[in-house]
Structure 1
Amino acid sequence: MTNFSRRTVLAMTGAALATPSLLRAQSGGTVKIGAMLPLSGPASIEGHQVLKGVEFAIKQANAAGGVFGKPVELAIEDDEANSTRGVTAVRKLIESENVPFIVGTYPTAVVVAANKVSKEYGVPMLSGGSTGAAGTEANTPGDPWFFRCWPDSNGQGHDTAMAIVNTFGAKKVAIIHDSSNYGTTLAAQVTRIVSDAGGEIVSNDSFNVGEADFSTMLTRIRTLKPDAVYIGGWAGDGATIVRQAAGVGLRTQFVGSGSMVSDDFIKLAGPASEGFAVATLYEPSTPNEKGKAFGEAFEAEYGHSAGTLNALGYDSTSIGIEALRRAGESDGRKVQEVLNNGMADFPIAMGPAGTTADYNEIGSVDFKNFIAVIKDGKRTLSGA
């Protein structure tokens, strides 16, 4: 059992945890919420960044008085990016911790498996980073139990593909993607839209998650002289591809999927990340006032800028806590009813100015992705 596989975290500031008066308040009861994320395994880079946003949302909620006059407590499970483990994690959170909602998870395949269980129990899930369209497409229209407060992979693929053609002017595009649902879906979307816009797909290669050597593939792609290379998959694999591309002399515009939007990707890819472009839902330079306020508070708390993955966890958790307040009691079915019918007035940090948790009939929020380019080791919004 990993260090993260079965732990309950009381998400309050260190000073608050040391305060006897608050400890006495906790002994009178807390309001517990759940989260399941990949804290080990192939998506652990993303999972830990999302978790930091979850924890920050809870810190802010507790600083504002908690829920029902009680501090919010986080029960968290490590799903290891594994569907079987995810189903077990959901059952534990619901049966043992009695949580009214769950923030989770990142891999779409785990979402689909886990949400079947959470729906049976009457406990809604709010995405812990999952972008795959399959998560919300599995919902019954008008009665969703999985909620994602940002566009799905189809939207991400569309906006990324349009940037490849229009922003970067690419005519010849190479596609590299992992064999997961996430990578395959995005690659298909980018392929279709680039082709429809008059671009040429000069190659389309898939790989298994965690592969170590891409040099042969990248050397072959170099001979095709693409104007851009699109990478769909996890951040760790994307960083390896970008580093090895520099090693074989493949120099072109690299564009990646949203999982590669973290500072960890920049650290892993090193200098080879310069010029890399990625679809993003949030950056500190956002024109969204809610997002700016979040970014300033996050940096004051942690000493570094917030990224999209932090914002994913923050928004989903903030929405869940607000829905819990509006429901008036810790009841999953009532929380789902609020999420389904009453959150369009709640502003979120991600997206353009004025974006709210206005879920559509299958539990997704639609808005246009930003495109960011890495310059001097930092993501900068394209055109900013």
Structure 2
Amino acid sequence: MNRLKFVLFVSVVLLIVSGSALYAQDDATPIKIGLYAPLTGPVAFLGEGFQYGATIAIEDMGGEIEGHPLELVVADNKCNPTDAVTAIRQLIEVDEVDVILGGGCSSATVAAQDVIKDGETPAVSATSTNPTIYNGMGVGGNIWQFRVNPDDLIMAGAFANMIAEDTQRLSLVAENTDFGRGALNAYKPIFEELGLEIVTEDYFDLGTADFRPALTRIRASQPDSLLVVMTERDGSTFMRQLREVGVDAKIYSRGSLTSPLFLEYTEDDPTIGEGIVEFSFWAAGLDPEFDAHFLERFDTPNSPHRGMSYYVTRYVIGEAIRNAILNEGEATRQTIRDELEATSIETPIGLIEFDDHNQAYPFGTLQTIEDGKTVFFDTVELVPVDHGE
């Protein structure tokens, strides 16, 4: 499929959308939205998705908020801790952004926390689901970090019980990252309480090309179901080889294996993802009007990272900037942070409000693949859970 390609710089990409100034801040003063995301490496498609989402959000806001032009400043975190710290320092200390979106993967978001706190710059996570992030935010010590998406501990209770309804023997498969390990660490104690037998547990590096040895072992273990924690690129390779090896088990996903982007990666054989059941916080069909708008703009389908980047930029960061200007007279790091804390807005992904740990609770979503198409079939109310110490 033809796709609009962005020029991705390894260090920083600057997108300036101009507008006219109406308020008390200097007429030429732009508001800088920083984005740190993986632009290179095995999950560069996630960073590309974040750029798509933030770009179309800025376009839909008219390129300005209350007359102040918006700048999108992008830094590559490569989805690894070392580069995440470098990217965040670049945005805070060199580019002097006013607010940050990211980091596109849990490993980057976990690593960036201390720098965000020390740099006193508001940052909003859209997709990072590692549960350990929760305890450090808000009353946990870092008042500058917010998270819109639920983490895997928040989602685990509802999904684990669903999996247990038709499963006694379970295989666990995840990417070897803070996302994958964080998810399975959240689920395993619940599965144990529910009496499920975990027959295999495997972790794979990003970009793994051959899953067949592990899949052969999984097949021999005869699980009733697999829980797979991967994003579209690796997940499409894994599912393709799972069908080749002949693993006969129900597939549950906590990643993005039912998204239209997954279907794009497997369009040569639409049966590859047939029957996958996925729990997430975004689903194709939840906001059909925006799905169509996104496809028309970029000639590639919406996806969890693309959609969540849009919603967080437009409805959460955008409204916090607007309210900072209207209520405080200027959009600074401090006033934007204060307005983020006060957020209460209905969005296509649910009501967004932050608790005392700066954590929001949008809908959980359930979706599957039927006849080669994503089918969204339910939303699930998510509530706070005990994250321990």
The interval holding the TM-score normalised by the smaller chain is: 0.7 to 0.9
1:210 is matched with which residue?
207
Of the three residues 341, 359, 370, the one matched with 2:354 is 359
The 8 Å contact of residues 173 and 201 in structure 1, kept in 2 or not, is answered as: yes
| TM-score relative to the length of structure 1 | 0.85
Q: What letter is aligned with 1:228?
A: S
2:87 is matched with which residue?
89
Distance in 2 between residues matched to 1:158 and 1:184, nearest whole Å: 17
1:10 is matched with which residue?
16
The alpha-carbon distance between structure 1 residues 231 and 367, as it changes in their structure 2 partners (threshold 3 A), is same
Matched, 1:222 2:219: yes
Superposed counterparts of 1:1-384, under 5 Å: 3-11=9-17, 28-62=28-62, 66-141=64-139, 144-166=143-165, 169-269=166-266, 270-271=269-270, 272-286=272-286, 291-302=287-298, 305-318=301-314, 319-328=316-325, 329-340=330-341, 342-344=342-344, 346-350=345-349, 355-382=350-377
Distance in 1 between residues matched to 2:362 and 2:106, nearest whole Å: 20
Figure out how many residues of one structure are paired with residues of the other and give that number: 360
| TM-score relative to the length of structure 2 | 0.84
The alpha-carbon distance between structure 1 residues 191 and 320, as it changes in their structure 2 partners (threshold 3 A), is same
Q: What letter is aligned with 2:116?
A: S
What secondary structure is seen at the aligned counterpart in 2 of 1:356? strand
Distance in 1 between residues matched to 2:126 and 2:41, nearest whole Å: 16
The alpha-carbon distance between structure 1 residues 383 and 86, as it changes in their structure 2 partners (threshold 3 A), is closer
Deviation at 1:190, TM superposition (A): 2.6
- What RMSD, in angstroms, separates the aligned Cα atoms of the two structures? 2.8
Higher helix residue share: 1
Q: What letter is aligned with 2:73?
A: A
Deviations, residues 246-295 of structure 1 (Å, cap 9, x unaligned): 11111322122224454332333443122222222223432xxxx45544
Deviation at 1:314, TM superposition (A): 1.1
The alpha-carbon distance between structure 1 residues 261 and 102, as it changes in their structure 2 partners (threshold 3 A), is farther
The alpha-carbon distance between structure 1 residues 125 and 383, as it changes in their structure 2 partners (threshold 3 A), is closer
In structure 2, stretches of 5+ residues that fail to align are 1-6, 22-26, 380-389
The 8 Å contact of residues 37 and 104 in structure 1, kept in 2 or not, is answered as: yes
Deviations, residues 286-342 of structure 1 (Å, cap 9, x unaligned): 2xxxx45544543454456533222210122121121111112231111111111x1
Higher strand residue share: 2
The 8 Å contact of residues 100 and 122 in structure 2, kept in 1 or not, is answered as: yes
